[in-house]
Structure 1
Amino acid sequence: MHDAHPYSYYATPSVPGAAPRSRTITVTGQGILYVKPDTVTITLGIRTEHTNALEALSSNSKRVNAMIQALEAIGIHKEEIDTISFSIYPKYTYTNNIAVLAGYEVEHLFEITVKDVKTVGMIYEAAVTNGANIARELQFKLAHEQPYYQQALALAVKNAQEKAIVLARTLSLPLHDTPIELKEQTISSIHPSPQPRTTVLAASAAPPIQTQDVTITAIVHAVFTY
């Protein structure tokens, strides 16, 4: 795989009477780690409809309570279940461009934080069996990213140093292998992209969920002299 990051080599010609200037090689180093996630956030919800707003709300509340109780029964704590949106809105049908109120729709969405990624499929199954009919974002995360980022940062520095050494050897330059300048590029973990589109769940067990690695990337820019 070709390196997408450029390097620079500067050789300043000598000028009679001028003070000597340092000659430098500038490189970009990159460190990447692929880490198994230890946390998953799931967005699940319940949507109900009725011609009467109160009935739609009552039905939704009953199903929400049943879903939460089922999740708690399999080990999900209350503090790991957060409401992220709640809405009640009318639904209309149109006849000859005239809007006619057909009923009301209630939607209640929750974000569920899962500490054991192996239980994701079981959580979907419990939620769907007890009333959930909407699934949205599913994100794999790390509870503590910093130690992994520090490892990636160390790899990036080493990568920059290795590049500079290769360039110097190729050009027969007496490289000083400690950089005179080192800058960290602002970058953090890259998570698998969530799927924002709503999915309506069937009233059956959810399929097995395959985990995706979390990619931790660090980039540095280094300047070496020779």
Structure 2
Amino acid sequence: MALFDGSLLISMHKEIGMSMKKLLVVALALVLFATPVALGGQVKAQDDFPTQRTITVTGYGVAYGAPDVVRVGLGVEAVNEDILTAVNDGSDRMNAVLQALQDAGVAAEDIRTEYYSIYQDYGYGTPMEGGEQPVPRYRVSTTVTVTVRDTDNVAELVSAAVAAGANIVNYVQFDISDRSALESEARNDAIADARSRADQIAATLGVTVGEPLRIVEGFNQYPMPEFFGGGGGAGAAGSVPPISQGQLSVSMAVTITYAVQ
């Protein structure tokens, strides 16, 4: 008996080839059958989740309140050709100013040194008679921030400081120690304003405002200092401009995206 039958091998090869062809035909039929179903399912999914329509608006709110604290920036500048004389003069005058502030009712813990400097001023651009350059001078500057809790006494306090030797008044800033209540009031007004704007737009377009989808708080604005200038020689009491506290405002903004029905 032959160990290797060539005709049998050829027959097996033909049968395997026919089987592979049948499998390919069946697989192709399944792909062609499944493709429309998949495409149909995809289109249906898109129809089930249409793009959501929205309106985005920004509302604004402002709340007003009376200040209950004042911060005053003031100080002394001493000038002399001798550095030690300038330092001593500045120190003596600043001590007199600090004493005047405390005599006016300001607590020691409400006075904070803000700035201290010593520098040599060569007086460039201001030649003396005969074309000679002026002798360099030393400038010693000291400024403090004073927290005043009696807002009705600010003008008198500044005048007392100037009379004691202060020749720098950088700012007088009224403030509210706790702004949280005003912030809440302004924020509520901003939210109501945003809804009013959204309703107006929706009514014009013939749609209805739905629930808020996204809320972003924008900004808050606080009062800026009132600047009165500074420098120069010490003045007498009454040389400081009148100071009026008025009212302060806190502004808020919110941007809200609403669903549209």
Q: TM-score, normalised by structure 2?
A: 0.71
Equivalent residue number for residue 217 of structure 2: 184
Which residues of structure 1 form unaligned runs of 5+? Answer: 1-14
Question: Which structure has the larger Rg over C-alpha atoms?
Answer: 2
Higher strand share: 1
Structure 2 unaligned regions, length at least 5: 1-42
C-alpha distance after superposition, 1:174-199 (max 9, x if no partner): 332x31222212x2223225538534
Q: 1:196 to 1:128 in 2, by over 3 A?
A: closer
Rounded Cα–Cα distance in structure 1 between residues aligned with 2:159 and 2:71: 16
Describe the SS at the equivalent of 1:160. Answer: helix
Distance in 1 (CA, whole Å) between partners of 2:231 and 2:244 is 17
CA distance 1:167–1:102, change in 2 (3 Å): closer
Match of 2:189 in 1: 155
Shift of 1:161: 1.0
Matched residue SS, 2:235: coil
1:4-19 to structure 2, matched below 5 A, reads 18-19=47-48
**Structure 1, residues 162-216: CA drift from partner, whole Å, max 9, x if none?**
111222233332332x31222212x222322553853445223223202253331
- 1:98–1:179 Cα change, 3 Å: same
1:45 match? 75
Tell me the distance in 2 between the aligned counterparts of 1:167 and 1:100.
70
Distance 1:154 1:199 in 2: 44
Distance (whole Å) between structure 2 residues aligned to residue 70 and residue 220 of structure 1:
46
User: Which residue of the other structure, out of 54, 68, 78, is the alignment partner of 1:24?
Assistant: 54
Whether the 8 Å contact between 1:192 and 1:214 is mirrored in structure 2 is: no
Q: Distance in 2 between matches of 1:21 and 1:211?
A: 53
Normalised to the residue count of structure 1, the TM-score between the two structures is: 0.81
2: distance between equivalents of 1:62 and 1:121? 23
For 1:173-212, what aligned pairs fall within 5 Å after superposition? 173-176=207-210, 178-185=211-218, 187-195=219-227, 197-200=229-232, 202-205=235-238, 206-212=240-246
Q: Residue by residue, what CA displacement relative to the aligned partner does 1:66-87 show, whole Å, maximum 9, x if unpaired? A: 1111111111011111111112
Counterpart position of 2:140: 106
What are the equivalent positions in structure 2 for 1:14-163 lying under 5 Å apart?
18-19=47-48, 20-93=50-123, 94=127, 101-163=135-197
* CA RMSD in angstroms, aligned pairs only: 2.5
Q: SS of the residue aligned with 2:101?
A: helix
CA-CA distance at 1:107 after TM superposition: 1.2
CA shift at 1:91, angstroms?
3.0
Q: Quickly say closer, same or farther: Cα 1:164–1:59, change in 2 above 3 A.
A: same
Distance 1:92 1:173 in 2: 73
- Find the residue that maps to 1:211 and give its secondary structure: coil
CA deviation digits over 1:111-170, x for unaligned, max 9? 111122211101111101111111112222221122211211111111111111222233
Change (3 A) 1:162 1:213: same
Q: CA distance change for structure 1 residues 189 and 116 in 2, over 3 Å: closer, same or farther? A: farther
Question: d(CA) in 1 for partners of 2:134 and 2:205?
Answer: 79
